[in-house]
Structure 1
């Protein structure tokens, strides 16, 4: 059950972190994996996926990459995973160039990914968008990132409604804090997640894979327009750790 063997899977943003883990996971599960990335890493090149270089927010480049990826046969699964987070600060000091960059990748990139996935997916296929727990619970200086991931959830719902007649399912995975090259075990988010999550730790990339695999499998054929939160219970509510600190 829940096999993805021989499925043709296209993943954006596969050079590191969750994206690279997705590439390795689906290859190990027997899928045919292709990746669209602006700057492919050595680790990605060694993983064995077919790579297409493109900026996900550039329509011309992304359209060409999708067309090449679907040359021999249409796609079964598209994972819009590419995303960035940049320093923000307070609104009064915000650099709008950073806002534009985040929206270019996280919102425009997913929007275009949905546009071309719908053209090159088999009927009955699926799209999985990487959102974030930050769409629901944020930090004081996470505005543009949270806005962008909230937008991903909104696009997930509308795309599910648009593509349902073709049997194409569209869902999102919303990770909490995940240990990647961008977030170390002693980083601020990881330290906060040890207090704010029910499981009292940040996620490893391996902890996130099951949600994507589950949504990609045919057994999930009646799940669409929804979100799986893989946040260790962060959004569930107040933890004992936080209560103990507040009441100390």
Structure 2
């Protein structure tokens, strides 16, 4: 069973991956974010794809989520780890920490959010009660514990449209809605993975506090610093997670 890692902001290349080759996949839904990188990480075959492109040039609302997931499924991937930068909302979500959300609320619009649109023989409704694969989440949680990482083991991810950051009022609304973190790429990626019957789970990296939760201005310098720290934790996590699969 092949595992794929989708890298978000701050993870356009997978450190330690022994690359064997790169593969261009053409899909019925257009072109993916880039070629799929094949390699070996901690002794296991791994596929890697940079969600925003390897030059980080594709904004969240323009990512071709359908093409990305279809390409991975075409290459016989069965499990997907999605790494994503988020803003922290609840008190536990301090910048630099990693988190494994167990729920998601979709606030996006106008994205291609399903494969079930045309030439249908019947209407398909997927069960999305638990949007992340529980087994894959548990393996990541146990790996984080083994690695001694101070990870947040559950939480609700708010998926917003982007590419702008949220207003302070929007963050207060998300907090009232029960959200713990906010990102721009969680949907429709999670739902599309479910439609393709891929086991999918997210490792979120907190890049900043949500707007208005702290007095300081949100700056790209702070985001980059926090992402650097958080991505080191992701690499440590993968070192414990990949061999345990």
Q: TM-score range by the shorter chain?
A: 0.3 to 0.5
Determine which structure has more spread, i.e. the larger CA radius of gyration.
1
* Length-normalised TM-score, structure 1: 0.38
Tell which has more relative contact order, 1 or 2 (C-alpha 8 A, sep 6+). Answer: 2
Higher strand proportion: 2
* Length-normalised TM-score, structure 2: 0.39
Higher helix proportion: 1
